[in-house]
Amino acid sequence: MKSASQPLALLSCLLLVEVGLGFPTLAHLKPQASDELQTQAVRELLRRLIGARAGDFWLSVNSSVAGKDGLDTYQLASGEGGKVLVTGSTGVAAATGLYSYLKSHCGCHISWSGMQLQLPSPLPAVREVIRVTTPNRFRYYQNVCTASYSFVWWDWDRWEKEIDWMALSGINLPLAFVGQEVIWQRVYLMLGLNKSEIDDYFTGPAFLAWGRMGNIHSWAGPLPVSWHLKQLYLQYRILGRMRSLGMIPVLPAFAGHVPGALLRVFPEMNVTKLGGWAGFDCTYSCSYVLDPEDAMFQVIGALFMKELTREFGTNHIYNADTFNEMCPSSSDPTYLSGISAAIYKSMTAVDPDAIWLLQGWIFVNSPSFWKPTQTRALLHGAPLGKIIVLDLFAETMPVYLQTDSFYGQPFIWCMLHNFGGNHGMFGSVESINRGPFDAMSFPNSTMVGTGLAPEGIEQNDMIYELMNEIGWSRKPVNLSQWISWYTVRRYGSQNAQTLAAWQLLLRSVYNCTIQWKDHNQSPLVHRPSLKMKTNVWYNRSDLFEAWQLLQNASAELSKSKTFLYDLVDVTREVVQQLVALYYLDIKQAYENQSLPDLLTSGGVLVYDLIPEMDALLSSQTQFLLGRWLEEARTVATSEQEASLYEMNARNQLTLWGPMGNILDYANKEFGGLVSDYYGMRWNLFVTSLVECLNTGKPFHQDKFNQLVFQVERGFIYNQKQYPVNPVGDTVQIVKRIFLKYYPQTKKLHKNANNN
Ligand SMILES: *[C@@H]1O[C@H](CO)[C@@H](O)[C@H](O)[C@H]1NC(C)=O
Ligand SMILES: *[C@@H]1O[C@H](CO)[C@@H](O)[C@H](O)[C@H]1NC(C)=O
Ligand SMILES: *[C@@H]1O[C@H](CO)[C@@H](O)[C@H](O)[C@H]1NC(C)=O
Ligand SMILES: *[C@@H]1O[C@H](CO)[C@@H](O)[C@H](O)[C@H]1NC(C)=O
Ligand SMILES: *[C@@H]1O[C@H](CO)[C@@H](O)[C@H](O)[C@H]1NC(C)=O
Ligand SMILES: *[C@@H]1O[C@H](CO)[C@@H](O)[C@H](O)[C@H]1NC(C)=O
Ligand SMILES: *[C@@H]1O[C@H](CO)[C@@H](O)[C@H](O)[C@H]1NC(C)=O
Ligand SMILES: *[C@@H]1O[C@H](CO)[C@@H](O)[C@H](O)[C@H]1NC(C)=O
Ligand SMILES: *[C@@H]1O[C@H](CO)[C@@H](O)[C@H](O)[C@H]1NC(C)=O
């Protein structure tokens, strides 16, 4: 990554042009609601946000304030009686302008973990009219996996908050994937499957993302009738709200996967069976992909599109991914362009204005298959300007660079950032701050926007706020200045210690400059072994010092919810590092055959550190296992459904599949989970090592794995109820942990030498 001070980088910023304007094919992707309707929607949003103070603003949507070629624009001004006037070219633009004013003039902050909305009275004046036009035609949001890792149990109240957040964050191109199984069910029934064949096919709620992409089927299903009804109702409300705010929701389309049972009805159908995905065998995996030349491809694709658009209307943009993490049966370019041509044809047969949104993850995930010839073939199966590719992990592995900007197809520069909804603190701020601008000024760039594509949300608020601002910026920000103001806004006060703490976090956990794909490989959240990874990308001392500063600031800031969240989060990150350091001690003691040392380190880890972490997490709402489980059970309409959903919820966080197929991939650090799952495993590990030293027998990982699987599986069915409300005083718990363990950070760290 080039540094911001290099003259070349500066030059590229000055030469920056608006992107995405070279594609008249995309001109029809725009809000459908009238200015009046969008005005009303954004005013209602404001009222939800600040209640009666909404009267101090005059918000409106006027599409004629848009920038050159219709780029989203907002204007801020002061009007009569001290009112703040916010005008946006769309509802999203107006909401973005509103939040921008709240940030810059009022020092406010809105995030997943909380809001800081102390408004000065009267509102500060806007001295000179401010007019901002984004250089990005689209600001995209979501990963297909977010639907399962984060949204799966959401009700309308939670969705409403998220859509508000999207609008305030400037997002205009979100996925709208809820309820698609309702449509598929109808299509399969029309094609002649019976109800039990369909029930056998769908996965359970927590695994739908991968069912939709043909990675798995059947696992943790079936979907109850009530599930379909509730999802349908939700999708109506979601789409209605997104559209009224001027967003362009993306619906799903047919990607070529068919249930095996369809071969009973159409035995002559020409399908190829893909291999098992991610350690699943064919009981739950090995999808059938329909040959693109088979007439049934168009029949099924068009049936789905017709039912979908009849039910939900359309904004003319659809997502379809055929080969997510699965290699096609043939690398013949004719076959690959045939597949994309067939997908595009089935879309346009029903909606002639269809644009296809394709995840570029395949190119990152399987570069050995997707050579230039194969990539070009797939991308050129539809006319130029008809596929938008999501360069999904562009902050770390940008694909546009290797593909001459996706061989002419438009693309969106996305920050993926998070895998599996893991909690670890992480960020590549330098790349986020530069990457989109580099991509815009790439020779013959086809970039048409920026985006967020996290697999899971509700973590690392800071990085998402930064990325959202970049989506509306024409040049990189000064990160050090940016983080200072962020800190003030987030806690609603100027505090030297929190400012210093965030500078340390910025340069350490948030400044990953290497290709780092396993963001949370902490030993804490993985099955113990003697070969665990403990390395990190940053200097641990910075984190420990930031912890000390926050701990010290806690007396002053204990009223701030966002501060308490961060205090827990940073302490959690510190404890996670301490677990790694104690693990190294345990391993060393075992290898030294020193029983006393093993008992000491193992005892601290299992009987104090892990229980303390559980107590810490249990003291803040956002870190409760009980909430995740309760949300799942609340969707149910019977005890049987509640048990099924709870199994889904527990399995996704832990075994991820019947046999630990993707073990611990979606790990979370939740109060309840830390003690009863991770803690139990570590207890067993330490006990096993002690026994080995006692008996003189070597440690066998295979034997341990069999034993520990019983613990893991046991957790899923333990039927224990976990608190849904926080317990304990966060500040006191942190102080206790600090007094005990801060001195250890220095000692242990030294022993661990260079990370
Ligand atoms: C919208 O903006 C245009 C251009 O600034 C202005 O002429 C027009 O009067 C505005 N419309 C409304 C309804 O305010
Ligand atoms: C559905 O079809 C399968 C395959 O023909 C059959 O075995 C099963 O009994 C049918 N189920 C129902 C409920 O009709
Ligand atoms: C069946 O599909 C495969 C690839 O999808 C193709 O190679 C083969 O020629 C097709 N067979 C027939 C009979 O169409
Ligand atoms: C950019 O496009 C122009 C016109 O198509 C072409 O002549 C030129 O070679 C391209 N430049 C690069 C660096 O690809
Ligand atoms: C960023 O801002 C800080 C603090 O105001 C300043 O010291 C620093 O020089 C700035 N960095 C750049 C690259 O402008
Ligand atoms: C991040 O690390 C790089 C490389 O060490 C350094 O050049 C850069 O200044 C750091 N950025 C921040 C925000 O600390
Ligand atoms: C890590 O940071 C500490 C101070 O925060 C410093 O003393 C130490 O030298 C740094 N270590 C490395 C490897 O840079
Ligand atoms: C902790 O805070 C106190 C006052 O609140 C201050 O005197 C002390 O210097 C702080 N310590 C550190 C390490 O910041
Ligand atoms: C293990 O043995 C090494 C070398 O014999 C020694 O330096 C170290 O202190 C011992 N560590 C523990 C934890 O016993």
Q: What is the pLDDT of residue 16?
A: 40
Structure tokens, 268: 């002559």
Q: Which of 102, 133, 164 is the last residue of a domain?
A: 133
**Mutate which of 395, 486, 513 for ligand 6 pocket (most atoms within 8 A of beta carbon):** 513
Domain limits at 65?
A: 35-133
Provide the CATH number for the domain around residue 669: 1.20.120.670
Whether 462 maps to a domain, the answer reads yes
How confident is the model at residue 415, as a pLDDT?
Answer: 98
| Confidence band for 751, pLDDT divided at 50, 70 and 90 | low
Cα 111 to Cα 574: distance, rounded to the nearest angstrom: 23
- Please choose from 293, 332, 337 the residue to mutate so as to test ligand 3's pocket, defined by most ligand atoms within 8 A of CB: 293
User: What is the model's pLDDT at position 10?
Assistant: 37
Residue 518: its pLDDT value, please? Answer: 67
| 731 in the same domain as 583 | yes
Averaged pLDDT, 70-88: 97
Residues 6+ apart with CB under 8 A from 14: none
480-514 pLDDT, tens digit each: 999 999 999 999 999 999 999 999 999 999 999 98
Ligand 3 centre to CA of 479 (Å) is: 54
| Residue (of 198, 182, 338) closest to 251 by Cα position | 182
Domain boundary among 93, 115, 133: 133
- Ligand at minimal distance from the CA of 193 is 2
Residue 732 has pLDDT above 60, yes or no: yes
C-beta 552 within 6 A of ligand 8: yes
Question: Are the C-beta atoms of 626 and 614 separated by less than 8 Å?
Answer: no
Mean pLDDT calculated for residue range 268-278: 94
| 189 and 176 part of one domain | yes
Candidates 260, 188, 273; CA nearest to 223 is: 188
**pLDDT confidence of residue 21:** 55
CB of 290 within 8 A of CB of 258? yes
Q: Where residue 286 sits, what CATH number does that domain have?
A: 3.20.20.80
Instruction: Look at residue 18 in the predicted model and tell me its pLDDT.
Output: 46
* 610 plus 740 within the same structural domain: yes
H-helix or E-strand spanning residue 112: none
Mean per-residue pLDDT for 106-121? 97
Confidence grade of residue 8 (pLDDT, cut at 50, 70, 90):
very low
- Residue nearest atom 13 of ligand 3, based on CA coordinates: 270
Residues 738 and 636 occupy one common structural domain: yes
Q: Which bound ligand lies closest to the C-alpha atom of 260?
A: 2
Instruction: Give tens-digit pLDDT for 283-320.
Output: 999 999 999 999 999 999 999 999 999 999 999 999 99
Does the Cβ of 547 fall within 6 Å of ligand 7?
no
Residue 83 lies in a domain: yes
pLDDT bucket at 749, cuts 50 / 70 / 90? low
Residue 478 domain flag: no
Mutual angle of helices 561-591 and 479-491, in 10-degree steps:
110
Q: Are residues 151 and 220 in the same domain?
A: yes
What's the CA angle centered on 721, arms 719 and 722, to 5 degrees?
135
| Residue nearest atom 10 in ligand 7 by C-alpha distance | 539
Asked if 76 and 208 sit in the same domain, the reply is no
Would you say residue 19 has pLDDT above 70?
A: no
Closest approach atom of ligand 3 to CA 290: 5
**Do 112 and 198 belong to one domain?**
no
User: Would you say residue 208 lies in a domain?
Assistant: yes
Q: Are 415 and 432 in contact (CB under 8 A)?
A: yes
At residue 460, does pLDDT exceed 70?
yes
Query: Rounded mean pLDDT of the chain?
Result: 95
Task: Return the minimum-mean-pLDDT range out of 354-358, 376-380, 514-518, 719-723.
Answer: 514-518
Q: How much is the pTM?
A: 0.96
Are residues 376 and 237 part of one domain? yes
Mean pLDDT of 70-94: 97
- Tens of pLDDT, residue by residue over 615-645, are 999 999 999 999 999 999 999 999 999 999 9
517 part of a folded domain:
no
Please name which of 499, 451, 447 lies closest in space to residue 472, comparing C-alpha atoms.
451
Confidence (pLDDT) at 22: 72
548 found inside a domain: no
**Predicted local distance difference test score (pLDDT) of residue 325:** 84
Position 251 pLDDT exceeds 50: yes
pLDDT score, position 315: 98
The answer on pLDDT for 2 being more than 60 is no
Q: Calculate mean pLDDT across residues 66-70.
A: 93
- Per residue in 404-413, pLDDT (tens digit) is 999 999 999 9
Residue of higher predicted confidence among 18 and 735:
735
Polymer length in residues for the chain: 755
Q: What is the dihedral of CA 144, 146, 151, 152, to 10 degrees?
A: 70
Pairing of strands 57-61, 84-88: parallel
Asked if residues 415 and 394 have their Cβ atoms less than 8 Å apart, the reply is: yes
Residue in 464, 95, 52, 461 with CA at minimum distance from that of residue 244: 95
Phi, psi of 290 (to 5 degrees): -75, 140
The predicted structure's pLDDT at residue 516: 75
Same domain, 124 and 189: no
Q: 75, 98, 133 — which closes off a domain? A: 133
CA of 63 to the centre of ligand 1 (A): 8
pLDDT tens per residue, range 683-702 = 999 999 999 999 999 999 99
pLDDT band at 14 (very low <50, low <70, confident <90, very high): very low
Per-residue model confidence (pLDDT) at position 519: 64
Pairing of strands 271-273, 288-290: antiparallel
Query: Phi and psi for 25 in degrees, rounded to 5?
Result: -60, -20
The residues facing 86 across adjacent strands are 59, 76
Contact 89, 31 (CB under 8 A): no
pLDDT band at 13 (very low <50, low <70, confident <90, very high): very low
- CATH code, domain carrying 66: 3.30.379.10
Q: Which two tokens stand for residue 618?
A: 């249990």
Model confidence band, residue 750 (pLDDT cutoffs 50, 70, 90): low
Nearest CA owner, ligand 7 atom 6: 541
pLDDT exceeding 70 applies to what percent of the chain? 96
Contacts 24+ apart (CB under 8 A), 267-274: 269/294, 269/296, 270/294, 272/329, 274/214, 274/326, 274/327, 274/329
Rounded to the nearest angstrom, the distance between the alpha carbon of 539 and the centre of ligand 7 is 6
263 Cβ closer than 6 Å to some ligand 2 atom: no
CA 97/CA 130 separation, integer angstroms? 9
Is residue 489 a part of any domain in this protein? no
Residue 491, in any domain of the structure:
no
Minimum CA distance residue for ligand 2 atom 14: 194
Average pLDDT estimate for 200-214 = 97
Same domain, 268 and 124: no
Give distance in angstroms: CA of 511 to centre of ligand 6: 6
Nearest CA to ligand 4 atom 5: 444
Amino acid at position 491, single letter? Y
Q: Are 112 and 195 in the same domain?
A: no
Same domain, 165 and 253: yes
CA 22 to each of CA 25, 384, 412, 446: distance values in angstroms, whole numbers, following the listed order: 9, 11, 14, 8
How many domains would you assign to the chain? 3
